[in-house]
């Protein structure tokens, strides 16, 4: 119906009209951009939480925590449980971990000290840092290996000293691990952290045990066996899959993100209303212009296309800017939501950015539909009388 040359002409015409009404176009694009930014950022947070809390079929990691305790400050387990846990059938390895956090609540800037057995850690994380840094860490009892996000956030490098949560440590190196729990943690020697965090109690106390098992299908079975082992002990345990442990710690954040997601959808509704309103107002103020175009021979299909192209450009430009800004912010800030010593990374996602753009385009097309039909049906004489 509309040939290629005419279509290009209409696109050029729509583009000129938008670019040469910069205030109106800029405001609409800014509105769309903010809404898409909000949607994409909230969705990135939701994706991070979903990844961290969705149990994978091949999951083999368990966290043993003190029963009815929900914060590293209050979960205290005897380190000698390690032997008993390691003897439970199906268990491959047990790592006693002492956790000290600078802030127990949900926050974007938390330093999490993880005290771990040095030799075991060096073996399992040999690839995460350079041999020289690992050797340095093994030699010094007060040294720490920092996750790269923590190091970037606090601007720390090998050779520095830093203090957080009452713990003063020497930075032996920076780890390159991509695991969320590693990125915002400072790994220190277990005895060192136990000593630093003693606060009146005796040593030999850990916060949790990280347990690896051989068969993912026996995750629940092994967890029950561990809890049964210490059920009548002075410090009974609660054992969960690592993802379930993160989900429990992040309960409040999950609820907040659920609510924020509703805000994200509301923002998309705002995109629709914003573009529709802008196009309707624009067409209303340009009724004479539409009549002039009709007089020149532009038909209903041409005018509808012109309105749709304008709407599409506004939605696409706003969508690309909003999704791009969200992606850049998430990628550059390397944000991790940390609560109760558990870190949830907010991952940058091309998929979310593309989804944001596609939704903005779809909404802009829907928003332009009614104004397009109105413009295509306008009678020339009525337009001139307006």
Partner 1 sequence: MNTADAIITCTALEKHYTRGGETVRVLESIDLSLERGAFVALMGPSGSGKTTLLNLFAGIDRPTAGSLTVDGHDIVKLSRAALAQWRASSVGYVFQLYHLVPVLTAYENVELPLYLQPISRRERHLRVSEALESVGIADRHAHYPRQLSGGQEQRVAIARAIVTQPALLLADEPTGDLDRTSAAGIMELLSHLHRDRGQTIVMVTHDPATAHHAQRTVFLEKGRLVDAPEVHR
Between residues 172 and 375, which has the closer beta carbon with respect to partner 1? Answer: 375
Between the CA of residue 313 and those of 25, 112, 321, what are the distances in Å? 10, 46, 12
Between residues 128 and 291, which has the closer beta carbon with respect to partner 1? Answer: 291
Task: State the minimum distance, in angstroms, from the CB of residue 157 to partner 1.
Answer: 55
Between residues 25 and 112, which has the closer beta carbon with respect to partner 1? Answer: 25
Task: State the minimum distance, in angstroms, from the CB of residue 309 to partner 1.
Answer: 13
**DSSP class of 55:** P
Task: State the minimum distance, in angstroms, from the CB of residue 257 to partner 1.
Answer: 44
Residue 54: count of CB within 10 angstroms of its CB? 11
Task: State the minimum distance, in angstroms, from the CB of residue 14 to partner 1.
Answer: 11
Residues sharing a CB contact under 8 Å with residue 35, sequence separation 6 or more, in sequence order? 267, 268, 270, 271, 274, 318, 322
How far, in Å, CA of 101 to CA of 112, rounded?
A: 4
Between residues 127 and 296, which has the closer beta carbon with respect to partner 1? Answer: 296
Half-sphere exposure of 88 (CA within 13 A, CB side): 24
Element spanning 338, H or E: strand 336-339
Give the distance from CA 335 to its chain's centroid. 7
Residues sharing a CB contact under 8 Å with residue 351, sequence separation 6 or more, in sequence order? none
Task: State the minimum distance, in angstroms, from the CB of residue 369 to partner 1.
Answer: 19
How far, in Å, CA of 61 to CA of 95, rounded?
A: 11
Residue 261: count of CB within 10 angstroms of its CB? 15
Between residues 4 and 155, which has the closer beta carbon with respect to partner 1? Answer: 4
Between residues 216 and 300, which has the closer beta carbon with respect to partner 1? Answer: 300
Task: State the minimum distance, in angstroms, from the CB of residue 12 to partner 1.
Answer: 8
How far, in Å, CA of 370 to CA of 368, rounded?
A: 6
How far, in Å, CA of 100 to CA of 73, rounded?
A: 7
Between residues 297 and 351, which has the closer beta carbon with respect to partner 1? Answer: 297
Task: State the minimum distance, in angstroms, from the CB of residue 28 to partner 1.
Answer: 16
Residues sharing a CB contact under 8 Å with residue 54, sequence separation 6 or more, in sequence order? 243
DSSP codes joined into one string, 99-133: EEES-SSSBSS--EEEEE-HHHHHHHTGGGS-HHH
Between residues 233 and 289, which has the closer beta carbon with respect to partner 1? Answer: 289
Task: State the minimum distance, in angstroms, from the CB of residue 307 to partner 1.
Answer: 15
Between residues 128 and 305, which has the closer beta carbon with respect to partner 1? Answer: 305
Site of interaction with partner 1 (CB under 8 A) = 3, 5-6, 9-10, 13, 16-17, 20-21, 288-289, 291-302, 380-381
Task: State the minimum distance, in angstroms, from the CB of residue 256 to partner 1.
Answer: 45
**DSSP class of 215:** -
């Amino acid at each position: 119906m509309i040939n290629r040359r005419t279509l290009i002409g209409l696109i050029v015409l729509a583009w000129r009209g938008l670019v040469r009404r910069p205030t109106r176009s800029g405001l609409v694009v800014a509105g769309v951009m903010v809404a898409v930014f909000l949607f994409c950022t909230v969705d990135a947070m939701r994706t991070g939480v979903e990844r961290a809390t969705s149990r994978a079929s091949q999951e083999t990691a368990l966290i043993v925590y003190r029963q009815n305790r929900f914060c590293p400050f209050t979960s205290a387990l005897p380190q000698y449980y390690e032997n008993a846990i390691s003897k439970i059938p199906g268990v491959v390895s047990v790592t006693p971990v002492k956790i000290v956090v600078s802030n127990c609540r949900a926050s974007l800037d938390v330093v999490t000290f993880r005290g771990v057995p040095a030799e075991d850690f060096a073996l399992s994380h040999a690839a995460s840092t350079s041999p020289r840094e690992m050797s340095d860490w093994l030699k010094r009892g007060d040294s720490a290996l920092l996750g790269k996000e923590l190091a970037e956030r606090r601007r720390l490098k090998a050779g520095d000293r830093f203090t957080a949560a009452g713990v003063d440590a020497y930075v032996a190196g920076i780890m390159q691990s991509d695991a969320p729990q590693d990125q915002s943690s400072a790994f220190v020697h277990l005895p060192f952290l136990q000593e630093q965090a003693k606060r009146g109690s005796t040593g030999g106390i850990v916060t949790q045990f990280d347990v690896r098992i051989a068969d993912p299908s026996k995750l629940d079975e092994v967890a029950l066996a561990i809890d049964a082992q210490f059920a009548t002990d002075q410090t009974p345990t609660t054992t969960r899959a690592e993802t379930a442990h993160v989900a429990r710690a992040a309960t409040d954040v999950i609820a907040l993100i659920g609510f924020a997601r509703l805000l994200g959808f509301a923002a998309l509704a705002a995109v629709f209303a914003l573009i529709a309103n802008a196009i309707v107002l624009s067409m209303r103020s340009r009724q004479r212009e539409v009549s002039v175009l009709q007089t020149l021979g532009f038909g209903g299909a041409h005018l509808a296309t012109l309105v749709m192209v304008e709407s599409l450009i506004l939605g696409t430009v706003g969508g690309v800017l909003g999704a791009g800004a969200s992606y850049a912010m998430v990628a550059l800030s390397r944000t991790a939501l940390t609560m109760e010593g558990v870190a949830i990374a907010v991952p940058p996602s091309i998929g979310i950015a593309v989804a944001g753009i596609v939704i903005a385009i779809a909404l802009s097309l829907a928003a332009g539909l009614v104004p397009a039909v109105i413009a295509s049906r306008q009678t020339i004489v009525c337009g001139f009388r307006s």
